[in-house]
């Protein structure tokens, strides 16, 4: 895994069954290596950061949590790149716990060493939404727009804590997780959720750069094991936090899935495809030389 990165050839079609060819590349960060894949031609380049503990592997699995279909469609319009974060798939592990800042640093190094040049449209799913916000805040001149796919919100744990009962030794494990985030030791990528939230909370807005916020269907948010009253309050809080994400840009739009759960790219992939293409086209309209 220590060989220099090379670019895969563009225009490789995606079979009808949604599989992707086993053509991930490897970039050496010095002490470890990360796997990534790029396809398509054009600018801006779409860069996807996936949810917690989600790996892309070779896209060989039939569903690949939905990203194979999104990837295959976007490459017809512009370049798209995805990677496995440290500790996921065949990417090397890194010291844990890790924060959004660590993940952003890795992504920035990968893009530079693999010569994946800006400008970028960033797509962040779940915790990846926090990561792309931090990336955009630190590299504003390189980012033309953003798509948040049922993104985590840095205030969600405080909101959840507001309606949870007092902690007790015999409470359900999920009730301990909601106000604090999952213990990093339980996650393959070892993410410290609370520390990451603090980092993202300090970021600025996108100004007028195009933003699309995709939110799961309110009917889909039913965490297993939660009492109905807490589940209902959590659903309301999540919806309100998703609306709050629109404040990140004066040029934002909100799309709510009709039936998709947290994995919108799997349940309703066309929503993700349309959102990405919308931001790409708006970015090109603002900067006509970007193609």
pLDDT at 4 over 80: no
The CA distance from 103 to 197, in Å, is 13
CA 17 to chain centre: 24
pLDDT class of 10 with cuts at 50, 70, 90 = very low
Instruction: Compute how many other C-beta atoms are within 10 angstroms of the C-beta atom of residue 166.
Output: 5
Total of domains in the chain: 1
- The verdict on residue 6 lying in a domain is no
What tokens does 4 get? 């220099």
Mean pLDDT of 175-193: 63
pLDDT reading at 185 higher than 70? no
Domain limits at 70?
A: 25-286
How do residues 11-24 score in pLDDT, each as one tens digit? 333 443 444 445 78
Tokens of 18: 């949604």
**C-alpha count within 13 angstroms, C-beta hemisphere, residue 37:** 21
Q: How much is the average pLDDT of 121-148?
A: 97
Is 11 a member of any domain?
A: no
More confident residue, 60 or 202: 202
Residue that has been written with the tokens 């086209």 in this structure? 281
Q: Is residue 186 part of a domain?
A: yes
Q: Is residue 77 part of a domain?
A: yes
Q: What is the pLDDT of residues 91-101, one digit of tens each?
A: 888 888 899 99
> What pTM value is reported for the model?
0.85
Averaged pLDDT score across all residues of the chain = 83
State the average pLDDT over residues 30-58. 86
Give residue for tokens 């990677």: 83
Residue 16 lies in a domain: no
**215, 257 in Cβ contact below 8 A?**
yes
> Is the residue at 159 inside a domain?
yes
Instruction: Work out the average pLDDT over 203-228.
Output: 87
At residue 136 the predicted structure's pLDDT band, cuts being 50, 70 and 90, is very high
Supply the pLDDT for residue 88.
Answer: 82
Burial environment of residue 9 by CB neighbours within 10 A (0 to 12, 13 to 18, 19 or more): exposed
Q: For the chain, give the percent of residues with pLDDT over 70.
A: 77
If you average pLDDT over residues 239-268, what whole number do you get?
A: 96
Q: 269 lies in a domain?
A: yes
Taking CA atoms, 65 is separated from 3, 51, 56, 111, 200, in Å, by 28, 10, 8, 23, 25
| Comparison of pLDDT for 20 and 248, the residue scoring more | 248
Choose among 218, 222, 230: nearest CA to 256: 218
Mean pLDDT across 242-255: 97
Look at 11-15, 116-120, 241-245 and tell me which has the smallest mean pLDDT.
Answer: 11-15
State the CATH number of the domain containing residue 89: 3.40.50.1820
Pairwise pLDDT comparison (134 vs 4), residue with the higher score: 134
Peptide bond into 119 cis (omega under 30): yes
Question: Is 20 contained in some domain?
Answer: no
The CA–CA distances, whole Å, from 128 to 49, 74, 93, 135, 171 equal 5, 19, 18, 10, 29
């Amino acid at each position: 895994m220590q060989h220099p990165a090379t670019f895969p050839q563009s225009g490789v079609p995606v079979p009808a069954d949604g599989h992707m060819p086993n053509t991930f590349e490897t970039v050496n960060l010095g002490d470890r290596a990360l796997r990534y894949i790029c396809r398509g031609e054009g600018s801006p380049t779409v860069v996807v950061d996936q949810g917690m503990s989600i790996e892309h592997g070779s896209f060989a699995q039939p569903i690949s949590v939905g990203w194979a279909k999104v990837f295959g469609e976007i490459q017809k319009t512009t370049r798209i790149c995805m990677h496995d974060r440290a500790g996921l798939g065949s990417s090397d592990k890194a010291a844990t716990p890790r924060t959004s800042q660590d993940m952003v640093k890795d992504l920035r190094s990968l893009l530079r060493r693999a010569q994946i040049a800006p400008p970028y449209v960033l797509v962040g799913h779940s915790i990846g939404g926090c990561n792309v916000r931090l990336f955009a805040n630190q590299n504003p001149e390189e980012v033309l727009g953003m798509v948040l796919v049922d993104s985590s919100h840095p205030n969600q744990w405080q909101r959840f804590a507001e309606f949870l009962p007092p902690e007790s030794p015999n409470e359900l494990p999920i009730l301990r997780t909601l106000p604090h985030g999952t213990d990093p030791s339980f996650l393959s990528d070892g993410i410290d959720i609370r520390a990451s939230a603090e980092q993202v909370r300090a970021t600025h807005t996108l100004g007028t750069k195009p933003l699309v916020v995709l939110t799961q269907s309110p009917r889909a948010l039913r965490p297993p094991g939660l009492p109905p009253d807490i589940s209902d309050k959590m659903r309301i809080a999540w919806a309100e936090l998703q609306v709050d994400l629109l404040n990140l840009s004066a040029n934002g739009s909100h799309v709510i899935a009709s039936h998709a759960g947290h994995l919108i790219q799997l349940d309703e992939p066309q929503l993700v495809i349309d959102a990405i293409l919308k931001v790409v086209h708006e970015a090109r309209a603002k900067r006509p030389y970007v193609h």
